[in-house]
Every structure is written in C-alpha cells, then in structure tokens.
A and B are shown apart, each in its own frame.
Chain A
C-alpha cells in the first residue's frame, strides 16, 4: 500500500475514533500503535509508542506546563483578581458599555499572568458575569465578552500554546511570546471597538453605571488603581529575568508560579480549599495535556516514518499546482473548520505536526505563522460544538445563561477574530516587529 494512502487511512480512522466520544489520548494512541505494529511490527514497531515517552521526557519546555496551569488556578481559585475587577468597574463604569470594556481590560491583565485561557474564563464567569448581569447588561454580549477575552490568555505572553508550538516548530519561545503581544493587544482593542459600536447603536445593551456606584471620592478611586500593581508585579517577576537571560524559560515559569502563590498567601486568600483545588486541578489538567501529547508524539513518529508531510506537500504543489499563499489560506480555512469540532489541545497536537513543517517548506516565517496558528486556535477554542469555554461556561455561568445564549454569544467575536487573523496575515509586521526589535534581528 502506498504511504500516502496509509497516512490518509490513519488520519481518517483517528477522526472516526474521536467521534465515538472516547478519551482523546486513547483514540490517538491506539491508531498510532496499531499503525506502528502493522507497518513495522516485526521490526520493533511495538517500541515506537514508548520511544515517544522518552522523547517527551526530553522536551524540557513542557516543564512550564504544570507551572502555568498552577498559576492560573491560584489566580482564579483565590479570587485575587476581585480587586482588579473593582478597579475597572469604578473607572470604566461611566461609559456606555464601560463594564464590558473593563472586563476586556481585566482579561488582558489576567492573560499576562497565566498561560492558558481557563483562568480568564473562570475569573470572568464567576466575578465579572454576575456583576454585569446585575447592572442590566445584555447577557449574550457579556457572555461573548468573557469567552473572547479569556481566549487572549494563549496569545498574550506567557502562553502555553506558543510553548507547545515552539516545540513543534523548533522556534524560540521568547520571540514567539513577544510576537503575540501586539496582535493580542490589537485583538483586545478590536473587541473594545465592537462593544463601543454596539452600545452606541443600541444603548440598552450596556447601560451606564449608577452615579452612586462610580462617584467614589477621588482618593478612593486612586487607591483602587493599586489593584493593577499586582498583575504587573507578577508579570514582571517572571518576564524580566527571562527576557534578560538571567533565568531560563522553565525557571521563569517556576518563579511565576511562586509569585502567584505568594501573592495569594500575602493577601490571605490561600485557604485550605483554594490550595486543595489548585493542586488537584493542576494535576488533572497537566495529565490530560501530557497523555494527549504523548499519544500524539507516537502518532507523529509513525507519520514521519511514512514521510507523510513530504507527500502532502507534493500533492499540493506538484499535483495541484497551488501557490504557497493559496495553500496557506486553505490550511487556515481547514484549520477553522476542523476547529469547530475539535478543541484547541487536539488541534495543537494533531494538526500542528502536520501543518507546521509544511508551512516551513513553503518558505513562510514560522514565528509569524505561530501567531496565525494561535489566533486560529483561539477560534477553534471558541466555536461550538466543541470547546472548553462552552463546557466551562455551562458549568460556571449564572443559571439565567443557557446553552443557546452561549452559542449565540460568540458569533460576533469569532468574526472579530477572523478579522484579526486577516490583519496579521496581511501585515506580518504586526507579529514580527516586536521580537525583531527586542532581539535585534
């Protein structure tokens, strides 16, 4: 059987296996080891799966994974972001839709303190949403605000998704993180513009806050600004030594985790329950990631063994005569379509090993593509029927927000994200300027 056919068969059977609703790592791992056994069973094919475990052990940037996950849980479980929310609340409340805009600001700061979207989602759904609903904000708009805002967690540094991408693409994490800064802020601004426009057109969506709630004494208002210091301090203790080369990436992640933990302790929020939840959930989420990546690495090794990437590239360029840009756009489209029924982790580990080498072969800048990739992953994360945000929202949002609201809320924000994707594609400088400036190349 020709290798291309085997590769296609592997991919198809994996998708089929996934549809049965079984644990994702089981589906991927099963297809990987069966393929390895069928292809090279007589020649040590049974080893390939375990060799992936040894390979995974050597992927040192993954050591950051539990650190960033722990950080996120400490931030959300200990509610040290509450003060931050109150700051935005008072300062932005006077504007039409101001609380929603403030929530985006909150999400940007949360993003700068953790590497995943989960923390932002948890904080947004538990702190911001109830307040916004109480003030008569439109429930669909604000549900969308929280989901879209939290997705910035993986684009604004630190970002776990970009660490994983860096591993697969063999690109420097520092440059990728810096590349995410401007597109992340740009996307936040686009969200704000969207909120402002909608609230201008239809003021009912985001009423102005009551006088007595926002007219605090000036000194009190200034005091609230201090809440903003905490995220900046946490971000700085982690990023400054890293960008200056005093500590390495994995060391910085441990410093960040320690900083978040200490902040919670000093603010008196590290209760027994918070500690228990953070530690336990960190294990759960880390295991989920690691077992999926482990299975995907085995899958990738078999795919590599088949020379699948070269075959696909040959199919696109030699047989279909497509230009690099056409292929890139097709890839992003297929990415978005697959993303509607895959979640971001699955996208990352299944699609990336296939797409990233291809993009490299086509001659595109892999730092720039990392940002395109992350934005597309954000879209995948947002879109139903599969995405964490949907489950988390269902679990955490106030009861008046139904599943239909959650689904309906995301449409405009996904469109904004597609716009951001198009902008970064058209103007690569948005992603590449900052890392070039800082690292001087």
Chain B
C-alpha cells in the first residue's frame, strides 16, 4: 500500500515538475506578446489579438504552473499557530486541510468541464456524459463558442487548458496528501 503511495507521489511530482519547468519560460512568451503589442502599435497598426492572446498565455502560465508552485512551496500559509508546530503535527493538520483544497479543486474542475463542454456546443447539464459520448461517438461537437471580440478566437482550447491545469493541480494535491501519509508513517519525504 505504502509502495503504491510512494509510486504515485513520484510519478505525479515528476510529471508536474516537467510541465512546470517548461511553463515557467512562458514569462518570455507573455513578454514577447506584450512587446510585440507595443512595437506594432508604435510603428504599424495595433494588432487585434495581442491583449486576448496575452490573457490566454497568462492563464496557461499560472494554471499549468500551479502544481510546480505547490512543489516549490510557494503558497502562503498563515503560520501564526502552524509555524510553531512539530513536523508530525503539521503533517496531521495538512492531512486534513488538504481535503478542503481537494474539494475546492474538484468543484472548480467540474465547472471547467461544464464550461469546456459548453464551448464545444453542449448545452445540457451532464458534461461528463457529453465527453464520454464524444469518445463513443454518441455525441458530437456542436456550435463552438467564440470569444465576443473582433478577433473571435474559439474558446475551447483555453478552457481545456484550464480543465487540464485544474486536473493536474488535483493530482498534485493528492500527491501532497500521500506525502503527509508517508510522513506520518515515519518516512522522510
């Protein structure tokens, strides 16, 4: 059992680490888009798409980078009490509180899937069965949602990225849960 936990933690951390290491260079993508926006505006005609594309890049950056940030321990905690606790006590507290986080991310992921399904033209209330139907062929992609702007990009790619990021975040939090279990079993994590 503990072996499985160990394996899961290692696998998820490795995947999210690799993704995070790639996504962190997104800062230059974002910078590039915004600089192009300044240049094109100063010397040519301003581009239709820069602001919206920069927004998409930013979303991909922070959503896909989120799990790596958790690995780095970048998330603030209020450590008024927590800071003074022993490692074991912290592990116990985390073991419980990470469940709240998992619940939150689960609701967010469900919302993301619903919104992604909508962006693919599904207007019912069972997004999961819609995606299942897409796989089996009983459902098909309908009217695809476009951004209400003059550029009118399709929105499903960015919504899918958000859903993926939330899913990875969920996996990472389960990995944190696993680490707390291992810690409580006396293993150095």
Q: Is B188 an interface residue (CB 8 A)?
A: no
Asked if B79 and A386 sit within 8 Å, CB to CB, the answer is: yes
Asked if B75 and A25 sit within 8 Å, CB to CB, the answer is: yes
Asked if B55 and A258 sit within 8 Å, CB to CB, the answer is: no
Q: Is A385 an interface residue (CB 8 A)?
A: yes
* CB nearest to B57 among chain A residues: A63
Asked if A17 and B100 sit within 8 Å, CB to CB, the answer is: yes
User: Considering residues B34, B59, B80, B158, which has the most beta carbons from chain A within 10 angstroms of its beta carbon?
Assistant: B34
Q: Is A70 an interface residue (CB 8 A)?
A: yes
Asked if B65 and A283 sit within 8 Å, CB to CB, the answer is: yes
Complex Cα gap A50–B59 (Å) = 13
Complex Cα gap A280–B59 (Å) = 17
Asked if B115 and A54 sit within 8 Å, CB to CB, the answer is: yes
Asked if A49 and B107 sit within 8 Å, CB to CB, the answer is: yes
Contacts of B37 in A (CB 8 A): 248, 250-251
Contacts of A295 in B (CB 8 A): 104
Q: Is B98 an interface residue (CB 8 A)?
A: yes
CB distance from B181 to the nearest CB of A (A): 17
Q: Is A22 an interface residue (CB 8 A)?
A: yes
Contacts of A34 in B (CB 8 A): 103
Q: With A22-B93, A57-B59, A295-B104 as known contacts, state yes or no: A287 contacts B69, CB within 8 Å.
A: yes
Asked if A255 and B24 sit within 8 Å, CB to CB, the answer is: no
CB distance from A306 to the nearest CB of B (A): 18
Contacts of A386 in B (CB 8 A): 78-80
User: Considering residues B62, B66, B75, B83, which has the most beta carbons from chain A within 10 angstroms of its beta carbon?
Assistant: B62
Complex Cα gap A345–B78 (Å) = 11
Interface residues on B, range: 35 or more
Asked if B30 and A63 sit within 8 Å, CB to CB, the answer is: yes
Contacts of A341 in B (CB 8 A): 78, 80
Instruction: Tell me the chain B residues, 87-111 only, with Cβ under 8 Å from chain A.
Output: 90, 93-94, 96-98, 100-101, 103-105, 107-108, 110-111
Of the residues A23, A60, A66, A385, contact of B76 by C-beta under 8 Å: A23
Asked if B65 and A286 sit within 8 Å, CB to CB, the answer is: yes
Contacts of A342 in B (CB 8 A): 78
Q: Is B178 an interface residue (CB 8 A)?
A: no
Contacts of B103 in A (CB 8 A): 30, 33-34
CB distance from A23 to the nearest CB of B (A): 4
* CB nearest to A22 among chain B residues: B97
Of the residues B31, B85, B97, contact of A26 by C-beta under 8 Å: B97
* CB nearest to A288 among chain B residues: B74
Asked if B27 and A282 sit within 8 Å, CB to CB, the answer is: yes
Of the residues A19, A50, A283, contact of B115 by C-beta under 8 Å: A50
Asked if B108 and A29 sit within 8 Å, CB to CB, the answer is: yes
Complex Cα gap A45–B137 (Å) = 30
Asked if A258 and B81 sit within 8 Å, CB to CB, the answer is: no
Q: Is A27 an interface residue (CB 8 A)?
A: yes
Of the residues A24, A46, A283, contact of B27 by C-beta under 8 Å: A283
Cβ contacts A29-63/B at 8 Å (1 or 0 each): 11011100100000000111111011001101011
Asked if B68 and A283 sit within 8 Å, CB to CB, the answer is: yes
Q: With A254-B34, A288-B75 as known contacts, state yes or no: A66 contacts B27, CB within 8 Å.
A: yes
Q: With A22-B101, A26-B100 as known contacts, state yes or no: A283 contacts B61, CB within 8 Å.
A: yes
Q: Is A291 an interface residue (CB 8 A)?
A: yes
Asked if B76 and A24 sit within 8 Å, CB to CB, the answer is: yes
Complex Cα gap A57–B82 (Å) = 33
Asked if A290 and B35 sit within 8 Å, CB to CB, the answer is: no
Instruction: Tell me the chain A residues, 289-348 only, with Cβ under 8 Å from chain B.
Output: 290-292, 295, 341-343, 345-346
Q: Is B146 an interface residue (CB 8 A)?
A: no
Q: With A33-B107, A286-B62 as known contacts, state yes or no: A21 contacts B79, CB within 8 Å.
A: yes
Q: Is B86 an interface residue (CB 8 A)?
A: no
CB distance from B183 to the nearest CB of A (A): 15
Complex Cα gap A290–B83 (Å) = 24
Contacts of A247 in B (CB 8 A): 38, 41-42
Asked if A19 and B81 sit within 8 Å, CB to CB, the answer is: yes
Complex Cα gap A27–B54 (Å) = 29
Instruction: Tell me the chain A residues, 185-202 only, with Cβ under 8 Å from chain B.
Output: none
Contacts of A27 in B (CB 8 A): 97, 100
Q: With A24-B78, A258-B31, A282-B24 as known contacts, state yes or no: A30 contacts B100, CB within 8 Å.
A: yes
* CB nearest to B74 among chain A residues: A284
Complex Cα gap A253–B56 (Å) = 17
Of the residues A21, A26, A46, A246, contact of B93 by C-beta under 8 Å: A21
Q: With A19-B80, A251-B34 as known contacts, state yes or no: A26 contacts B62, CB within 8 Å.
A: no
Complex Cα gap A346–B85 (Å) = 22
Q: Is B174 an interface residue (CB 8 A)?
A: no
* CB nearest to A32 among chain B residues: B104
Given A22-B101, A26-B104, A34-B103, 9 more contacts at CB 8 Å?
A24-B75, A27-B100, A50-B114, A57-B158, A247-B42, A255-B35, A286-B62, A288-B74, A343-B76
Closest 8 CB pairs of A and B: A21-B82, A50-B111, A26-B101, A284-B74, A254-B34, A287-B69, A22-B97, A290-B62
